[in-house]
Amino acid sequence: EDGYPVIEFRMMNDRANHEGSEIWDAQISAIVQLHKEQTGSSAGALKNDKVSGGGSTLDLEKKVYYPISLTPNTHPHFSRIWYAQHVLNEESPLLKREVRDMIAADKKWDPDFNSWREIRDCLNPFISLRVTLSGTSAVSASTVFAEHVYEFDDVCVGWRFANMVYEKKVGIYNRSWWRRFGRPFGLTGEPVQAEGDEDNPDMKTKVDRALLHDIVPQPGGDFEPMEDDTDSVFHIFNI
């Protein structure tokens, strides 16, 4: 977005492959927990600074909490997959104070800071980042709620989510049923089509739930080395 790096989250409806299991009027929000900066000046404070819940009263380890803006943060009909992004600009609590000051002065992201190492160095090493989702289940008409807590090590710079959607050909009966009971016929007297028939035009969109956390390098070839553990990740890339 206008040259700024973007941090991306991906949510999946746990019943994505079941018809009629949408979540209506879904909403997401995020809040980050940071170590309080030890400074005697208010210089470099976030624009429109809003600290949620105040700071800790313990002098040994003071913490502050900031809301994280996500776009889009609402979804009227969450049936399968939802992508939300946070822009790393001068208002982002996920950037170090000096980086926010630089962006505010230049009114843009410094193009010299576009390698994965430089972007990583610009990030504020947060304690935790909590994303929450709520909405109304189309199955039960009751409120549903989910949350996930990320740590700083979950950030993957220079990577993007892999595709997890595919098309599956569907049919009413399969050939093993035919071999045992004979080919069925429909109400019109015509034989029904089977899954795998080349002339079966019916396709359904499916989600491979096992690929929720799978990632691939972003175009351009500049991405940080990754360890094997990607069970809980979100990603930063440039658009």
Q: State the Cα–Cα distance between residues 218 and 88, nearest whole angstrom.
A: 17
Q: Is 211 helix (H, G, I), strand (E, B) or coil?
A: helix
Model pLDDT for residues 69-100, shown as the tens digit of each residue: 999 999 999 999 999 999 999 999 999 999 99
Cβ proximity of 175 and 194 under 8 Å: yes
* Pick from 10, 148, 128: nearest CA to 75: 10
- For residue 211, give every residue at least 6 positions away whose Cβ sits within 8 Å of its Cβ, in sequence order, or none: 162, 163, 164
Q: What is the pLDDT of residue 114?
A: 87
The two beta strands, 128-137 and 23-35, are: antiparallel
- Using pLDDT thresholds of 50, 70 and 90, give the confidence band for residue 239: very low
Cβ proximity of 7 and 218 under 8 Å: no
* Pick from 226, 222, 228, 153: nearest CA to 5: 222
Model pLDDT for residues 176-217, shown as the tens digit of each residue: 545 555 555 444 545 555 444 445 557 788 999 899 889 999
* Pick from 57, 133, 69: nearest CA to 95: 69
**Does residue 238 register a pLDDT over 60?**
no
pTM of the model: 0.74
CA 79 to chain centre: 15
**From the DSSP assignment, how many helices (H) and strands (E) are in the chain?**
3, 13
Largest CA distance in the chain: 85
* Pick from 121, 126, 110: nearest CA to 63: 126
Cβ proximity of 94 and 86 under 8 Å: yes
